[in-house]
């Protein structure tokens, strides 16, 4: 279908919904690189005017990636819940925006409608929203998941403790784990990005985390972020696997570049659940995403990067994950050029994921060659905290010495919890209380050299 509108003295024509979506989005370097973004602000306004009047029902007929060519499209179309969609089926994209911002769209109502929304509908409405709109609606969306603790409850912000080490040295990893726990981090997951693809090394890291967790009866979960096939191999060898991890994308071809398909993810989900290691739930998948991944794999089908990112969330929700994490600035300035673009993308991703029913966290991060700095990350971290983000990263000194990028630190987690009155997952908070890590005002105790907290955990290093 061709779309047309007039803005001032100019007439704009768009060859299909895919073109409208690409040109309606905020300016970002990845879409410019792909040649799908607006060529001027006037064209962007024109595309948004067209998009606002597109009925939501059109997204069920005009597909941005062909059904016959892409299993992600087939997942989206075949899994669409017409009953859940019915309350909003009469709306346009602009009408959906207005409804989402209304008092009527409560947390309970949004959860009921969520299965009826396709990722393309959600991506479309996000392109019509200001940052404050994304925050307001994102805060209303609640997605609660469980494994050894409960993640996503109101008034809570979880933290992934990321104790990466450039050589996977057990003592270095263990030291970072202890450091993070003392700051109240690790309730989302203690998750290590391994330095190699070695299955035996991954198993040793899993055993290390499991030993620390078991020794102190910590109500959290572990994960080594290796390829899902390695996790399956580790399960076969009897490793203590809590969560299966995989990076995912929004097209079949992009996922194929990761060495995966939907069948393999289903196999991993089933195998990990069969271990029955959770104590309060059985959400066992951990997915990571990032705007620009499909373009970097040459698998974007001429679709803008944000729409494809939201399609990745449709993949995620099919497997009831415990955690989904947009690594928002990790791919680099070729896709998100500066702090402004990274902040906008982080808010988009959180809003879109939550609206689709995904337990959305964010790695508030940037690479050193991007036009961004830690002040930009402070801004995004604060905005995501206000928006009800499920979890963020906790990395020693905010500098990942293995992956070589800048993220958020244990201190950053303390900051955002403090200023917004947020707490860890309830089971993890109760554990901190038992371990005397909280003061009488429920704050993380200040650490003194040689203090009781350090003595409590020093044995963890002996495990290695």
The pLDDT tens digits of the residues spanning 328-355 come to 999 899 999 999 999 999 999 999 999 9
Q: Give the mean pLDDT of 253-263.
A: 98
pLDDT at 449 over 60: no
Give me the chain's average pLDDT, please: 95
CB atoms near residue 53 (< 10 Å): 12
d(CA 398, CA 92): 42
State the pLDDT at residue 10: 85
Q: What percent of the chain has pLDDT over 70?
A: 96
Q: Give the mean pLDDT of 379-390.
A: 98
pLDDT at 460 over 90: no
State the pLDDT at residue 456: 64
State the pLDDT at residue 455: 61
State the pLDDT at residue 344: 98
Kindly report whether the global pTM for this prediction surpasses the value 0.85. yes
pLDDT at 434 over 90: yes
State the pLDDT at residue 139: 98
State the pLDDT at residue 60: 97
pLDDT at 448 over 80: no
Q: Give the mean pLDDT of 167-192.
A: 96
Q: Give the mean pLDDT of 203-222.
A: 96
State the pLDDT at residue 13: 94
């Amino acid at each position: 279908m061709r779309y047309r509108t007039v803005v001032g003295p100019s007439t704009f024509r768009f060859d299909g919904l895919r073109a409208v979506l690409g040109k309606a989005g905020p300016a970002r370097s990845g879409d410019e690189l792909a040649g799908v973004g607006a060529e001027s602000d006037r064209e962007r306004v024109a595309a948004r005017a067209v998009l606002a009047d597109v009925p939501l029902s059109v997204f069920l007929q005009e597909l941005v990636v062909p059904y016959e060519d892409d299993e992600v499209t087939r997942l989206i179309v075949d899994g669409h819940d017409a009953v859940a969609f019915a309350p909003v089926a009469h709306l346009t994209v602009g009408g959906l925006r207005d409804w989402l911002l209304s008092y009527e769209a409560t947390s309970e109502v949004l959860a009921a409608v969520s299965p009826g929304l396709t990722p393309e509908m959600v991506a479309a409405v996000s392109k019509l929203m200001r940052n404050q709109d994304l925050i307001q609606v994102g805060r209303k969306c609640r997605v609660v998941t469980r494994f050894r603790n409960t993640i996503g409850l109101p008034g809570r912000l979880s933290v992934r403790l990321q104790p990466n080490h450039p050589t996977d040295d057990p003592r270095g990893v263990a030291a970072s784990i202890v450091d993070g726990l003392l700051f109240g981090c690790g309730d989302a997951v203690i998750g290590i990005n391994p330095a190699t693809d070695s299955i035996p090394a991954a198993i040793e890291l899993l055993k290390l985390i499991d030993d620390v967790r078991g020794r102190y009866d910590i109500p959290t979960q572990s994960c080594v972020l290796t390829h899902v096939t390695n996790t399956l191999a580790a399960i076969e060898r009897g490793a203590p696997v809590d969560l299966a991890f995989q990076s995912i994308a929004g097209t079949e071809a992009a996922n194929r570049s990761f060495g995966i398909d939907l069948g393999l993810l289903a196999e991993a989900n089933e195998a990990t659940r069969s271990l029955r290691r959770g104590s309060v739930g059985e959400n066992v998948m951990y997915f990571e995403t990032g705007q620009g991944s499909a373009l970097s794999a040459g698998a974007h089908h001429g679709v803008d990067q944000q729409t494809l990112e939201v399609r990745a969330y449709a993949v995620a929700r099919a497997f009831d994950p415990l955690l989904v994490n947009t690594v928002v600035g990790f791919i680099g300035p070729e896709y998100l050029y500066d702090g402004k673009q990274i902040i906008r993308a982080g808010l988009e991703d959180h809003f879109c994921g939550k609206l689709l029913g995904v337990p959305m966290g964010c790695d508030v991060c940037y690479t050193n060659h991007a036009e961004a700095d830690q002040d930009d990350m402070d801004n995004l971290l604060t905005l995501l905290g206000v928006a009800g983000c499920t979890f963020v990263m906790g990395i020693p000194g905010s500098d990942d010495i293995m992956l070589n990028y800048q993220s958020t630190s244990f201190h950053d987690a303390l900051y955002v919890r403090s200023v917004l009155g947020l707490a860890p997952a309830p089971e993890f908070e109760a554990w901190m209380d038992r371990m005397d890590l909280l003061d009488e005002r429920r704050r993380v105790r200040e650490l003194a050299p040689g203090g009781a907290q350090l003595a409590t955990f020093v044995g963890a290093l002996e495990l290695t």
